[in-house]
Structure 1
């Protein structure tokens, strides 16, 4: 039997992903993990399976001070305090302060230098090219060349910032996480708005790989303290969030399996000497039958509970690695038949464009092989149930307002 008093996961964040991580650990070890964040969001509010600690901190110094206080108190009862970040901001904050946190906490994260190479998209794409990980056709736009820039790709094209941290701090009308640009005039106008708003780094222009959301893939992996990839779980997103500031997030995922892609991801992670949780976003390109990577995150994917729901609890791996000291034996390449949903099931069926995928989704729903992160039979109350109903139901209005058919792009 696992001695659960030897470890306490500390999840940074109180959002949907944080709840999914806490739920995974609760299901694996029957513990009540700690969520630590700046706000008490509805996803973890009134939960019976997680302890939520909210503190007001606005910078790194206050963050370290507050989490250290909590850690010192928890250390009286637990030998291992394992930090898991549920968002990019928290992951980057941990990495910036890694040397101050190690010792009191187990900190399964990479260092600042590698973080910069992965989160700055321009550097990530170069790293991917060097390690044989396929990427879409790419052009770089800079302050110096943006006024005379001409796309070498046919429209539509995708446009996004290389430096997401800097981009987060700027504001302009029509701002989006990423853009689908239909013509040269729109491209010039959008680029001009971005640089006039104060953005100073590179923008990435990429060929738009044909196909709707059913061509997307997402991989979640955990790499242990020796650089061994313990588990990889491949998901086939079949519907994306349409909310303007949430474009790129998935709201319906079916598990998938691809041996070649697993090998490419494993080679990439081991070559760069990664450690911790990582999430890749990719798109299948039918023209050359390759999965093209366009984003990597040094934390679990926002919909990462799909791993646990499908029978592959990736979050148990960090506990086995750091607290239970279980040695690496082999890489688990997940293979399952399951549907994860972040929107009402009827909405997903309505807005999925690919008829074969739609039929598969309907089949999995009929067979009851589906799940939600927040709907949890072990975590119910009248207040919580009502909040979650409203949270999921709001997506009907969002899709009616923002949905764009992509099947002919």
Structure 2
């Protein structure tokens, strides 16, 4: 795929193509517009109004996105041929793990038509298997939760579930494959307090046809505020070139989205940065990675849970922290520039929820005070709060935020006060 040679050529010829239409897609579109004044093409199986109403997005609802890998690849090949015929350069991006998995799995044919800023499938597939991820952590001395793997292809767990120490957390080792399944009782993460609960979850996944491991882990104590998010960008040699991250103030608590942070206070940790640096260098990882980590109050460690082989849904916090994350991809993959090392840790609060939610549902007094100060001092921001965008977009953004308080009440109970 041809490269461009200047920011001016990027503004004239580059077409970012993003699969999936939610918060990361809009964050991409905002960053591409801020950096180059260009519009982003978004292809989704559904109409996400807060994104489709944007004047900076060319939004397409395409049923190929609901018909599996072959249909998506065929659609992308047609799109790539059209863009090339128009003298434009497509930059192909995915919002979800399964998008990136499809792109990487078909990288050889897709990079004839697009710039594809993802690792080869062998590496991607290896480190996204949680069991293998923990093996690498063990090799490097990176802390992770005590873990047992159960093979869901088998009719029985093959482990004495009563001998395990509860409470435990269970989650699929292959989130991309799991995301494509639909069945009653499906949750992103399962919190378990007894052997019979684990047996039930194992049976659900086996019957649903999930043909990978179920990861069962020690429950690391602590609430939302013990969770850390770290986003890194590494160069072709695996060396860290950009980093940002923070302490989760609140995460989504709805069953299908639990574990997705909705409010993050930017906060630097040297230990997290160095652990991620060693991981990326060791496996030769290039591009964006997002690490999910939890602080363990029992021993003061930071326990790594997984690596997402793409920018996380909340990666706009890197832009809020001072580094436009779309520009990193363009400078590296499209323009072939050498990137200086950068950190993005401005004193700010990334938030998808209004101030009222933080006031009513954050239990820790010190953390709540820090977050509320960001609101009162103008240091709290959402990627959707982009002034140049349409009135329609701003309305959909307001409606999305307005529903959050009722949602937290539904899943967390009555407000703190």
State TM-score, norm by structure 2. 0.90
Q: Distance in 2 between matches of 1:69 and 1:202?
A: 36
Contact 2:41 2:58 in 1 (8 A): yes
Deviation for aligned residue 1:147: 6.5
Cα deviations by residue, 1:126-185 (Å, 9 ceiling, x for unpaired) = 1222233221111222334357323533x3221111133443354544321101112334
Runs of 5+ in structure 1 lacking a partner? none
Determine if the alignment matches structure 1 residue 116 to structure 2 residue 132: no
Counterpart pick for 1:401 among 390, 410, 413: 410
Moved more, 353-362 or 226-235: 226-235
Pairing of 1:308-327 with structure 2 (within 5 A): 308-327=319-338
SS in 2 for 1:108: coil
Give CA deviations for 1:247-288 in whole Å, capped at 9, x if unaligned. 110110111111221111011112111122211111011222
Higher alpha-carbon deviation: 142-151 or 372-381:
142-151
Are positions 1:88 and 2:93 aligned together? no
Tell me if structure 2 keeps the 8 A contact 1:252–1:341. Answer: yes
Q: 2-side partners of 1:72 and 1:170: how far apart?
A: 31
- Deviation string for 1:273-319 (max 9, x for gaps)? 11222111110112222211112111111111111122222221111
Distance 1:229 1:10 in 2: 25
What's the counterpart of residue 177 of structure 1? 188
| Unpaired stretches in structure 2, ≥5 consecutive residues | 1-5
User: Which residue, 365, 371, 387 being the options, matches 1:355?
Assistant: 365
Which deviates more from structure 2 when the two are superposed, residues 74-83 or residues 237-246?
A: 74-83
Cα distance change of structure 1 residues 361 and 176 upon mapping to structure 2, 3 Å threshold: same
Residue 17 (structure 1) aligned with residue 27 (structure 2): no
Is it true that 1:138 corresponds to 2:123 in the alignment?
A: no
- Whether 1:346 aligns to 2:356 is yes
Task: Tell me how large the CA RMSD over aligned residues is.
Answer: 2.3
- Equivalent position to 2:106, from 72, 82, 97: 97
The match for 2:3 is none
After superposition, the Cα gap between the structure-2 partners of 1:270 and 1:80, relative to the gap in structure 1 and judged at 3 Å, is farther
Q: Deviations over 1:69-107 (max 9, x none)?
A: 322333355564222211112101101110111122111
How many Å apart are 1:10 and its aligned residue? 1.8
Measured in 2, the distance between the counterparts of 1:279 and 1:22 equals: 19
In structure 2, distance between residues paired with 1:78 and 1:221: 32
Q: Please tell me whether residue 2 in structure 1 is matched to residue 7 in structure 2.
A: yes
Structure 2 counterpart SS, 1:218 = strand
Aligned to 1:276, which of 287, 291, 308? Answer: 287
| Higher deviation after alignment, 164-173 or 358-367 | 164-173
Q: What CA distance in whole angstroms lies between the structure 1 residues aligned with 2:208 and 2:70? A: 29
Distance (Å, rounded) in 2 between the aligned partners of 1:147 and 1:130: 25
Give distance in 1, aligned partners of 2:269 and 2:242.
Answer: 14
Pair 200,80 (structure 1): closer, same or farther in 2 beyond 3 Å: closer
**Mapped partners of 1:227, 1:187: distance in 2:** 38
Deviations 1:29-80 (A, max 9, x none): 2222222233331131121112223333123333223222322333355564
Structure 2 residue 312 is the aligned partner of structure 1 residue 307:
no
Q: How many residues align?
A: 403
Q: Tell me how far 1:28 sits from its aligned partner.
A: 1.7
1:8-407 pair list within 5 angstroms: 8-57=15-64, 58-76=67-85, 80-142=89-151, 143=154, 144-146=156-158, 148-153=160-165, 155-329=166-340, 331-381=341-391, 383-403=392-412
Q: Which runs of 4+ in 1 moved over 6 A?
A: none
Task: Give me the whole-angstrom Cα distance separating, in 1, the residues matched to 2:242 and 2:114.
Answer: 23
Cα distance per residue 1:195-214 (max 9 Å; x no partner): 34443432111111111111
Between the aligned partners of 1:150 and 1:26, the Cα distance in structure 2 is 55
- Would you say the 8 A contact 1:108–1:225 is kept in 2? no
